[in-house]
Amino acid sequence: MTSNFDRHRRLRSSAGMRNLVRENHVRIEDLIYPLFVVEGSNIKEEIPSMPGVYHFSLDRLEEEMKEIAAAGIQSVLMFGVPEHKDYCGTEAYNDEAITQRAIRQIKEAYPEMIVIADTCLCQYTDHGHCGVLHDGEVDNDESLRLLVATAVSQAKAGADIIAPSNMMDGFVAAIREGLDEAGFVHVPIMSYAVKYASSYYGPFREAAHSTPQSGDRKTYQMDPANAREGLREAASDVAEGADFLMVKPGLAFMDMVLRLRESFDLPVVVYNVSAEYSMVKAAAANGWIDEERIVMETLVGFKRAGADLIITYHAKDVAKWLAR
């Protein structure tokens, strides 16, 4: 029998050996946990399509923040769901709106927590689109003015990072200029640079009450078939002043995480989105998968592809598993 072959199994021979040579790790510091806050009082309501994820009113938000901080999670991504919606999303840039009040509340109680503000209009407009509509079409440049106002208002409330998700052309440049003029030169921008018009957002739209009332978002979010276009989008955001680059969703688009990692030096963020979470929860509830092993395998896959940070609804569970 020939012995002229490589013995790769030597480095897999025991748990200790595998730990010694492991190339990628998921750390608690890598995780960003999304939060949904709503108006009203005494509200903690589970989102039906996202088991374990809740809407919180401000008077019960402390329960969630206490658990998040105790788990060691250091960053949260804020989504506000207002009661009042109108044509131009007024509550997005109202200094006293639900998102701004939630940011102030968290920063007062947890000053070390990194609060990232999602900056978009879809959950604030009565039509559910991410910008202003004129004759049924999203007006890119008119929308930029409102997005800048939203970002400045969020920064004024204490947001540590502004995360524009609207996919308007020029959104990073406009927001950077607006933040700088308002005195927030120190606030970085985490751009949803490569965001696809994806079917993986279904449960999120239930959570954010942001389903478009007409048409779809394909004129501003990217075609899932395109990869080179994603590099052009990211290059524009880098040139305009982005501090982070995000790929959304994650699982079906890991090639884009790798392409961004290889093409740019900025921190790369991947959003492990709602349907990715819900599918795992549903399969685990039926006993078809081992939830912990599936989730950890997915997250380390993001790291292997080149992600520095992972936005995930699994963050609290992962924190418990990592602490064992």
User: Annotated active-site positions, please?
Assistant: 195, 248
Going by their DSSP bridges, the two strands 44-46 and 54-57 should be labelled as: antiparallel
Which H or E element spans position 254?
A: helix 254-263
Q: What angle do CA 103, 106, 111 make, to 5 degrees?
A: 110
Going by their DSSP bridges, the two strands 44-46 and 31-38 should be labelled as: unpaired
3-state helix, strand, coil in the chain (%, to 5): 45, 20, 35
Nearest-angstrom CA–CA distance, 53 and 45: 8
Nearest-angstrom CA–CA distance, 219 and 28: 36
Going by their DSSP bridges, the two strands 31-38 and 161-164 should be labelled as: unpaired
**Residue whose C-alpha is closest to residue 248's, from 257, 260, 235:** 257
Question: What residue type is 35 in one-letter code?
Answer: L
Q: 40, 102 in Cβ contact below 8 A?
A: no
Full DSSP string of 163-213: EE-S--TTHHHHHHHHHHHTT-TT--BEEEEEEB--GGGHHHHHHHT---S
Going by their DSSP bridges, the two strands 132-134 and 137-139 should be labelled as: antiparallel
Q: In the structure encoding, which two tokens stand for residue 60, read together?
A: 């019960």
